[in-house]
């Protein structure tokens, strides 16, 4: 549910979600008819097309951190809240976070500052000194990341102007962040085949 609503929040349509999940379940050796009968209802339900017809929204960080902790064999949750510290260290190392950065993040986790640890991870993996916002939602992480990676914003502070975010070359300085994020959200037509590449 957590992952499905996240994908919905980044712009996956109902049809794309059904196609993506069916492809994943069939790849896992599930019969396509079993998927159609047992799982497609839940996907349609999350889009408000079944049951009470409530359009479900993606989970916030606080909901993920405070409710429904993952059990043995589960894959949901917050990696900073629900991962074993040694597994988290290994994961951070695989994402090329520096040893000093790992220590900072793990200290924040130890102090139960999970969202701050996530924000520090964001800053380190996007090469920014201060992202200038508080992360409170996985979809926010995605859109802020896309904003930076697409060249819409470079938050790396220059030593000569420490308080002023600098635009990447070729990006209009007057470009409004919120309108670009809204545009990205509304125009994000993701083919199922491109989904895995987009999330890497």
pLDDT digits (tens, 9 = 90+) for 63-95: 999 999 999 888 899 999 999 999 999 999 999
pTM > 0.75: yes or no: no
Structure tokens at 79: 């990696």
* pLDDT (0 to 100) of residue 165: 34
Residues 10-17, mean pLDDT to the nearest whole number? 96
Structure tokens at 13: 């349509």
* pLDDT (0 to 100) of residue 25: 93
* pLDDT (0 to 100) of residue 152: 76
Residues 105-124, mean pLDDT to the nearest whole number? 97
Would you say 153 and 177 are in contact if contact means Cβ atoms under 8 Å apart? Answer: yes
Mind giving me the DSSP string for 84-123? -HHHHHHHHHHTT--HHHHHHHHHHHHTT-HHHHHHHHHH
Q: Could you read off the pLDDT of 147-174 as tens digits, one per residue?
A: 999 887 543 433 223 333 333 333 332 2
* pLDDT (0 to 100) of residue 39: 92
What gap in Å lies between CA 21 and CA 109, rounded to an integer? Answer: 32
Between 176 and 23, where is the model more confident? 23
* pLDDT (0 to 100) of residue 199: 45
Q: What is the mean pLDDT of the chain?
A: 81
């Amino acid at each position: 549910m957590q992952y499905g609503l996240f994908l919905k929040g980044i712009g996956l349509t109902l049809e794309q979600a059904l196609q993506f999940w069916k492809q994943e379940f069939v790849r896992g050796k599930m019969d396509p008819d079993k998927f159609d009968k047992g799982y497609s209802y839940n996907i349609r339900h999350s889009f408000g097309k079944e049951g009470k017809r409530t359009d479900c929204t993606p989970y916030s960080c606080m909901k993920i951190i405070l409710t429904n902790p993952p059990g043995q064999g589960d894959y949901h949750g917050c990696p900073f809240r629900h991962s074993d510290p040694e597994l988290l260290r290994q994961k951070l190392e695989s994402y090329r976070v520096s040893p000093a950065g790992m220590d900072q993040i793990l200290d924040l986790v130890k102090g139960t500052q999970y969202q701050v640890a996530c924000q520090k991870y964001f800053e380190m993996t996007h090469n920014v000194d201060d992202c200038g916002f508080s992360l409170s939602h996985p979809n926010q992480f995605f859109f802020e990341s896309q904003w930076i990676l697409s060249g819409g914003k470079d938050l790396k502070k220059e030593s000569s102007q420490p308080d002023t975010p600098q635009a990447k070359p070729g990006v209009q300085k007057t470009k409004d962040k919120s309108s670009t994020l809204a545009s990205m959200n509304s125009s994000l037509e993701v083919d199922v085949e491109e989904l895995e590449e987009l999330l890497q």
